């Protein structure tokens, strides 16, 4: 069995704690590797080395740091297939989906190539009598990134690229379920010219996370995962005076108005609801058709599309629609929630339980499921299922549909399908959700904007990537300067003027 490593001071480094976690192949249910779980002492040593490397990196001018990002981006492009295969092997997502994972991370790296512009400060001459003022953006020092299993390339890149190009050193703690991609990215960064020690990749579990949160050297932490863990990390980071941006769960609704193109809406729901086996924080998990006729017609269009979905391992080819979920426990939880929907009275139109694939009977596959006539009181509506389950909640009016979204505890993403511009504008203006799609099912902003939810989907004041990332990973120092003239009219130096 392959034994994976940490990345310390620019090299793969075995763990010393004696603790390991299994890395599974979700398609077969077999253990394919083991990953070391760092002790608090190992984390502390990685932080100390990062702190030693950071000042020289911060003193490197922003243009040279940006050139590392340029080379890094070129290397990611050159190794796209290798990175995608690594993502698929440990996560189980299809190769096209895995390439998308890498590509969306690469786009943030590309924005970071323009970091000198984003890191500029402000200047005002003669702000007062003989007084000049200027503000500088300076790196925080050592920062941490704690990233989830479902995007092993994209979210580490969202964290690493802006943090590093801003002059910080970073401790990256990837998910122990999908750890290998982070190491590959670290190797490419070294090849691109990043000095040793500036990026440390430390694998681990709660012990490693708590060690990062409690370490006084670590100045900021970025996290993506479930809401309970996001709240925990945000609270513990705040207690130790750290900056924190913590992104949690989601329950993303898509309203379908009676005037919508239902074929386009159905295609969007299938792609956004079942892609990546529903293991996306931006997946559409709730469809809200307005009116009984709209709901009936939408179900009629959804069912044949859902039944045509091809579920299988990434090795089966490019025409596989989605693969397994991440663990046996995840599969069990998803199927348990499906049963709860049946028990609580929703109509199970398509049942994905009990799905088996010949030759992969032990894999963690869940077939696509579709519920109709669910209500907000049901578990399938209240909980983030994080699986290939789409739930339809019928609304009698636009206002009722909007109210569903507004009252939900999560506020990550939402969408509306309509042909009416006034309805779309009203929805975008009023809805209390961080990212909104209009005739667009997964409204992940492009990398030069910024990504972030509202309500219990996000904790912290600043979002991921875009301008907010540079605000998060730097702090402002403002200088007020006054220079006294030391020259008399006659040309003699006036020492008293300097008193």
Q: Is the pLDDT of residue 130 over 90?
A: no
Number of residues that make up the chain: 499
- Mean per-residue pLDDT over the chain, rounded: 95
Tell me, what's the pLDDT at 488?
Answer: 52
Q: Give the catalytic positions in this structure.
A: 281
Question: In CATH, what number does 252-438 get?
Answer: 3.40.309.10
Domain positions in the chain: 2-248+457-480, 252-438
Q: Is the pLDDT of residue 497 over 90?
A: no
Q: Look up tokens 């009181």; give the residue.
A: 377
Tell me, what's the pLDDT at 204?
Answer: 97
Structure-token pair, residue 358: 């010949």
For 232-251, letters b (16+ CB in 10 Å) and e give: bbbebbeeeebbbbbbbbbb
Please state the pTM of the whole predicted model: 0.94
Question: pLDDT tens digit string along 420-445?
Answer: 999 999 999 999 999 999 999 999 99
Tell me, what's the pLDDT at 498?
Answer: 43
| Residue 213 Cα distances to 4, 35, 49, 88, angstroms | 24, 21, 17, 30
Question: pLDDT tens digit string along 220-267?
Answer: 999 999 999 999 999 999 999 999 999 999 999 999 999 999 999 999
Question: pLDDT tens digit string along 438-490?
Answer: 999 999 999 999 999 999 999 998 999 999 999 999 999 999 999 886 555 55
Rg, Å, the chain Cα set: 25
Strand partners, 223: 146, 246
Q: How far apart are CA 305 and CA 302, in angstroms?
A: 5
Q: Is the pLDDT of residue 495 over 60?
A: no
Instruction: Collect all residues with Cβ–Cβ distance below 8 Å to 35 and sequence separation of at least 6.
Output: 4, 20, 21, 23, 176, 179, 203
Question: pLDDT tens digit string along 170-202?
Answer: 999 999 999 999 999 999 999 999 999 999 999
Using N-to-C axis directions, what is the helix angle for 180-192 and 80-91, rounded to 10°? 160
Question: pLDDT tens digit string along 359-411?
Answer: 999 999 999 999 999 999 999 999 999 999 999 999 999 999 999 999 999 99
Q: Is the pLDDT of residue 499 over 70?
A: no
> What's the average model confidence in pLDDT over 23-47?
97
Q: Is the pLDDT of residue 215 over 50?
A: yes
Tell me the torsion sign for CA atoms 92, 94, 100, 103: positive
Structure-token pair, residue 53: 């490397």
Topology of the domain covering 2-248+457-480: Aldehyde Dehydrogenase; Chain A, domain 1 (3.40.605)
Tell me, what's the pLDDT at 191?
Answer: 98
- The answer to whether residues 62 and 165 touch, using CB atoms and an 8 Å cutoff, is yes
CB count in 10 Å sphere of residue 344: 14
């Amino acid at each position: 069995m392959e034994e994976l490593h940490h990345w310390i001071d620019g090299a793969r480094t075995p763990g010393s704690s004696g603790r390991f976690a299994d890395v599974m192949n979700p398609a077969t249910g077999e253990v394919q590797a083991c990953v070391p779980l760092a002790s608090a002492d190992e984390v502390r040593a990685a932080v100390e080395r990062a702190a030693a490397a950071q000042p020289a990196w911060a003193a490197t001018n922003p243009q040279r740091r940006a050139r590392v990002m340029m080379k890094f981006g070129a290397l990611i492009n050159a190794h796209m297939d290798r990175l995608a295969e690594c993502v698929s092997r440990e996560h189980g997502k299809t190769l096209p989906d895995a390439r998308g994972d890498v590509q969306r991370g690469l786009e943030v790296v590309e924005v970071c190539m323009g970091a000198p512009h984003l890191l500029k400060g402000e200047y005002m001459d003669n702000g007062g009598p003989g007084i000049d003022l200027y503000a500088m953006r300076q790196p925080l020092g050592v920062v941490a990134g704690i990233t989830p299993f479902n995007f092993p390339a994209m979210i580490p890149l969202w964290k690493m690229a802006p943090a590093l190009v801003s002059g910080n050193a970073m401790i990256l703690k990837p998910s122990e379920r999908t750890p290998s991609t982070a190491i590959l990215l670290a190797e490419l960064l070294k090849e691109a010219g990043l000095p040793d020690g500036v990026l440390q990749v430390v694998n681990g579990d709660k012990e490693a996370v708590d060690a990062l949160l409690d370490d006084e050297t670590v100045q900021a932490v970025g996290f993506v995962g479930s809401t309970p863990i996001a709240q925990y990390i945000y609270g513990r980071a705040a207690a130790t005076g750290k900056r924190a941006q913590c992104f949690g769960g989601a329950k993303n609704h898509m309203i379908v108005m009676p005037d919508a193109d239902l074929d386009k809406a159905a295609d969007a729901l299938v792609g956004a609801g079942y892609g990546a086996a529903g293991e996306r924080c931006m997946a559409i998990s709730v469809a809200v058709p307005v009116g009984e006729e709209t709901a009936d017609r939408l179900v009629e269009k959804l069912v044949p599309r859902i039944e045509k979905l091809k579920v299988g391992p990434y090795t089966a080819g490019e025409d596989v629609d989605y693969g397994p979920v991440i663990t046996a426990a995840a599969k069990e939880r998803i199927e348990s929630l499906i049963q709860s929907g049946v028990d609580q009275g929703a109509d199970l139109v398509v049942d994905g339980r009990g799905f088996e694939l010949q030759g992969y009977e032990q894999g963690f596959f869940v077939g696509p499921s579709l519920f109709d006539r669910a209500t907000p009181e049901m578990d399938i509506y209240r909980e983030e299922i994080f699986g290939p389950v789409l739930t339809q909640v019928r609304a009698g009016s636009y206002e009722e549909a909007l109210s569903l979204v507004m009252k939900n505890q999560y506020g990550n993403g939402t969408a509306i399908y309509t042909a009416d511009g006034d309805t779309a504008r009203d929805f975008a203006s009023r809805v209390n959700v961080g990212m909104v799609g209009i005739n667009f099912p997964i409204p992940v902003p492009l990398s030069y904007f910024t990504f972030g939810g509202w309500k219990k989907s996000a904790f912290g004041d600043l979002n991921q990537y875009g301008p907010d990332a540079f605000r998060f990973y730097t702090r402002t120092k403002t200088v007020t300067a006054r220079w006294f003239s030391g020259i008399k009219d006659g040309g003699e130096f006036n020492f008293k003027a300097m008193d």
